[in-house]
Amino acid sequence: MAEEQRKIIEGYGVTEEAMGVPIRSNMETVVIGVSGEGIPVHMDYEASQADYIVPIVRIKAHTDFDGPIESGYCKMLAIGLGKHNGCARVHREGLGNFATVIPSVASTVLERRRVPFGVGIIENAHEHVYAVHVTPGERFLDQEPELLALSKRLMPRLCFPHIDVLVVERIGKDITGAGMDPNITGRSALGVSSCFSGPAITNIVALSLTEGTHHNASGVGSADFITRALFDDIDLTATYTNCIAAGALRFCKIPAVLESEEEALRAAIHTCPRVDPDQVKMVRIQDTLHLVDIQVSESLVPYCEKEACFTVHR
């Protein structure tokens, strides 16, 4: 598994040659303490031996829970540095408790190891860097909620009140940890969040896996229909390992498998209650990261022409 982690970051161009430093990938962890809730706090062995730890993170909304601290400095300290052992242990507390568990575990890391500062990257709706913040370690818990609030204001969304069929051309871990972002689709491991402000979606069709996901189909369970090509590309071991460790079994359930894209679309339309197939409200996106250019069915064109957030190209 350590070698697989190395391969993944190499796919992002992070190699020893490019960075000019050694890369040490090791799944061994040590327990450095116990959190306030009594959770053993695991840390990557290599990091535990370092003089200083500097997390470099994207600060953004988490895919599966809502809270003042979601994905960022604290999650990296609590889960990222914990590797598989720490991740699995924290997830045993349940995603619904993450808003308190993650800050608590992160606090133990900050108490037991030297974390002088962190680098927080905030991206805009185009996944371009909007801001880079350097935050002192002792200010992580104070400043991260402010940075998260900024990140959420910049998030993209599908600007429709309702979608009958959402077609997602590709899903994958390199798109989001949940394969397709629940902040866009509304479908998380815990169901629809009360904070979700996007459209109600009746059916989701997923067509393929990204190359960068390395056959890990975590998040496929958020779809209602998938193609045979996507199904045949799934590495069940990688997918189940990921979802079991994350306590997100909903994400690894296999949807209805149709032989072709056309069959999947027909099935998705057919199972939309009280919808005339000629008037189906269908939206097609490349993935949940890329929402600038989307395709819509003819029935949605009048709506798009009225809304200022859209530019229609026929």
The answer to whether the beta carbons of residues 97 and 84 sit under 8 Å apart is no
Q: pLDDT exceeding 90 applies to what percent of the chain? A: 68
Residues ≥6 apart with Cβ < 8 Å to 236: none
The pLDDT-based confidence of 201 (bands split at 50, 70, 90) is: very high
- The whole-angstrom separation of Cα 289 and Cα 170 is 10
Q: Output the six-digit token pair for 22.
A: 């050694």
For the chain, give the mean pLDDT.
Answer: 92
Q: Cα Rg for the chain, rounded, in angstroms?
A: 20
Range 308-314 average pLDDT? 86
The residue among 195 and 119 whose pLDDT is bigger is: 119
Query: Quick one: pLDDT at residue 86?
Result: 92
Residue 11: is its pLDDT beyond 80?
Answer: no
Strands 282-285 and 295-296: antiparallel
Mean pLDDT of 99-106: 95
- Cα angle for residues 122, 126, 130 (degrees, 5° grid): 30
Distance, in Å, from the CA atom of 21 to the CA atom of 46, rounded to the nearest integer, reads 14
Amino acid identity of residue 312, one-letter, is V
CB atoms within 10 A of CB 116: 11
Provide the pLDDT for residue 189: 74
Q: Which two tokens stand for residue 153?
A: 């204001």
Tokens encoding 103: 């800050």
pLDDT at 226: 98
State the Cα–Cα distance between residues 249 and 84, nearest whole angstrom. 16
The pLDDT value given to residue 75: 96
Looking only at the bridges linking them, the beta strands covering 256-258 and 282-285 are unpaired
Q: Give the tens place of pLDDT for each residue, 151-190.
A: 998 888 899 999 999 999 999 998 988 899 998 999 987 7
pLDDT at 313: 86
Instruction: Read off the pLDDT of residues 208-255 as tens digits, 9 standing for 90 and up.
Output: 999 999 999 999 999 999 999 999 999 999 999 989 888 888 999 999
Q: pLDDT grade, residue 194 (50/70/90)?
A: low
Can you tell me the distance from the alpha carbon of 154 to that of 60, in angstroms, rounded to the nearest whole number? 10
**pLDDT tens track for 294-306:** 999 999 999 999 9
Task: Supply the pLDDT for residue 1.
Answer: 65
